[in-house]
Amino acid sequence: MAGTERERTEILKQKKQLNIGLVGYGFMGRTHSNAFLQAPRFFDLTYQPVLKAVCARNPERAAGFAANWGYESVESDWQHLVARKDIDLIDIASPNNTHAEIAIAAAKAGKMVMCEKPLGRTANEALSMVEAVEAANVSNMVWYNYRRVPAVVLLKQLLDENRFGRIFHYRSQFLQDWTISQDLPQGGEGLWRLDASVSGSGVTGDLLAHNIDMAMWLNGPIVEVSAMTETFIKERKHSLTGEVEPVKIDDASAFLCRFENGSMALFEATRYARGHKALFTLEINGEQASASWDLHDLHRLEYFDHRDESRLRGWKNIHITDGDHPYMKHWWVPGLQIGYEHTFIHQAADFLEAVGTGKPIAPSFRDGLATEYVTDAVLKSAVTKKWEPVLGN
């Protein structure tokens, strides 16, 4: 065992180090930290990620987080983190209202930047972030992690191989139920997603952004939308002020849209679908084939091919665990599946591989901006009650 450890230390020494400064230690800080720790163990990467510093306002909790995940140091001011010479990459996992300022400063300091989704609270904010990373010419990526589910990547491969023919329909949902209680306050730790000044919007930016990012990756740009949103609970106590304040987020959001390829689509997200915790689904229907996927069963892809012999034609339920399935050769043996955290590990591995080889990185900040043009159009259409074009196309 000691020999193996020594060998590993030697191998690590030969790799180039990529020093990471993480901002935020909540749910996403944990998923990202885990991803950076696991990626080099399962993927052969030129760069060795080093957890150099974690930055958060509460120093005691930041120290506890650092000890648990193995960060070498702690900062309580992100500006200090960004100014540090020993940091190569700033990874933003703090609430949405902090993304733009940190990302822009990090880019100006010449750091690579990774940012949790959504990129900004609005397309304008996201645009300023794109301009900053592109002007500084620094590597950048948005954590739209569900693009890295092996079943979804397989679907992308099947689409790229043109197995579906002309695409007619796309439909996608993201259903949750965690904000139904009237007593749930808005704002503050864990609940900032309910405070529009921090989050930017409700389910449109938080959940539909995932559906839209994935849809445009699979099926191309969205050109126009017609939307409705609803805020079911109009007032909630604010955790920080203690006052009952109007709720300004959308609790539910649904839209119709048209893709550039002529297909039509239906999207829906809500936090009021009792019984559903994170039911992210998609279905795509083409002239020759259809496919569907569901996050609760993320290692399966349902696929129907009309070209199959008619006697045997039917929906295939493909268990995505074989070595020739995307990413799976890096994991266990056929039949043994992987889960949610692996989507982040894949994303970290792809980022480090791209930085090492110069391959393009996706989703880049510019890809993240494309999603924000759609979410902006959705929110606008819900107000105007008209079809709205998606800007930026």
- Whose CA is closest to 250, among 270, 265, 236, 235? 270
Residues contacting 158, CB < 8 A, separation 6+: 164, 289, 291, 303
In the stretch 164-193, what mask flags binding to ligand SOE with x, by CB under 6 A?
------------x-----------------
In the stretch 239-278, what mask flags binding to ligand SOE with x, by CB under 6 A?
---------------------------------------x
What one-letter code names the amino acid at 108? K
Query: What is the smallest separation between the CB atom of 176 and ligand SOE, expressed in angstroms?
Result: 6
Three-state DSSP class for residue 348: helix
* Residue among 48 and 145 whose Cβ is closer to ligand SOE: 145
> Which residues in the 277-336 window bind ligand SOE by CB under 6 A?
278
> Which residues in the 116-175 window bind ligand SOE by CB under 6 A?
none
Query: What is the smallest separation between the CB atom of 278 and ligand SOE, expressed in angstroms?
Result: 5
* Residue among 88 and 250 whose Cβ is closer to ligand SOE: 250
* Residue among 56 and 269 whose Cβ is closer to ligand SOE: 269
- Residue 272 CA to residue 289 CA, distance in Å, equals 32
Query: What is the smallest separation between the CB atom of 241 and ligand SOE, expressed in angstroms?
Result: 23
Query: What is the smallest separation between the CB atom of 203 and ligand SOE, expressed in angstroms?
Result: 9
* Residue among 195 and 206 whose Cβ is closer to ligand SOE: 206
Query: What is the smallest separation between the CB atom of 52 and ligand SOE, expressed in angstroms?
Result: 25
- Residue 118 CA to residue 208 CA, distance in Å, equals 10
| Residue 372 binds ligand SOE, judged by CB under 6 A | no
* Residue among 22 and 28 whose Cβ is closer to ligand SOE: 28
Q: For 56-166, list the strands marked E by DSSP.
A: 73-75, 89-92, 112-116, 140-143
* Residue among 178 and 332 whose Cβ is closer to ligand SOE: 178
Residues contacting 84, CB < 8 A, separation 6+: 21, 52, 53, 75
* Residue among 176 and 281 whose Cβ is closer to ligand SOE: 176
**Of 88, 125, 195, 206, which lies in the binding site for ligand SOE, with binding defined by CB under 6 A?**
206
Three-state DSSP class for residue 248: coil
Query: What is the smallest separation between the CB atom of 36 and ligand SOE, expressed in angstroms?
Result: 18
Q: With left for phi above 0 and alpha for psi between -120 and 50, is residue 188 left, alpha or beta?
A: left
Query: What is the smallest separation between the CB atom of 271 and ligand SOE, expressed in angstroms?
Result: 7
* Residue among 206 and 350 whose Cβ is closer to ligand SOE: 206
Q: For the chain, list the strands marked E by DSSP.
A: 16-23, 47-55, 73-75, 89-92, 112-116, 140-143, 167-175, 222-230, 235-237, 244-246, 252-259, 264-270, 279-286, 289-294, 300-305, 315-319, 388-389
Query: What is the smallest separation between the CB atom of 6 and ligand SOE, expressed in angstroms?
Result: 39
Contact 144, 213 (CB under 8 A): yes
Contact 210, 307 (CB under 8 A): no
Which residue's CB atom is positioned nearest to ligand SOE? 206
Residues contacting 86, CB < 8 A, separation 6+: 19, 52
Check residue 390 and report its DSSP letter: P
- The residue ranges that bind ligand SOE (CB under 6 A) are 176, 206, 278
